[in-house]
């Protein structure tokens, strides 16, 4: 299992469009993808579950990837989460 800590820096928060893109990306990998915010955890393949996490600007989140393609998923999804700040700028 790979756990990656990320500080979410998009001022708009993790709203529907980035949640949808994240879940679509997560479905491409043969591994379990989870996001953790505070004490809430969600399936990375479910847009609605991700939105319920309530991720806002400056949230400390953890990306968990476990399985066959955990390394590839962790790198790609972590990079996507880090790049979301560019959309707001």
Of the residues 1, 7, 11, 15, which is catalytic? 15
Identify the band that residue 87 occupies on the pLDDT scale cut at 50, 70 and 90: low
Burial 24-36 (b: 16+ CB within 10 A, else e): ebbeebebbbbbb
CATH number among 3.40.50.1820, 3.40.50.2000, 3.60.60.10, 3.30.1340.10, domain 2-88: 3.30.1340.10
- Take residue 55 and report the two structure tokens written for it: 């991720």
Model confidence, pTM: 0.89
Identify the band that residue 83 occupies on the pLDDT scale cut at 50, 70 and 90: confident
- Among 56, 62, 55, 57, residue whose Cα is nearest residue 77: 62
- Among 23, 18, 73, residue whose Cα is nearest residue 46: 23
Q: Assess whether 30 carries a catalytic annotation.
A: no
What is the tens place of the pLDDT at every residue in 3-62? 999 999 888 889 999 999 999 999 999 999 999 999 999 999 999 999 999 999 999 999
Indicate if the pLDDT at residue 89 is higher than 80: no
């Amino acid at each position: 299992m790979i756990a990656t800590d990320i500080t979410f820096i998009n001022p708009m928060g993790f709203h529907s469009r980035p949640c949808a893109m994240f879940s679509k990306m997560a479905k491409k990998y043969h591994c379990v993808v989870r996001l953790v915010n505070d004490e809430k955890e969600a399936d990375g393949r479910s847009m609605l579950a991700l939105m319920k996490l309530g991720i806002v600007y400056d949230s400390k989140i953890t990306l968990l990837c476990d399985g066959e393609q955990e390394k590839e998923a962790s790198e790609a999804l972590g990079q996507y989460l880090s790049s979301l700040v560019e959309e707001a700028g």
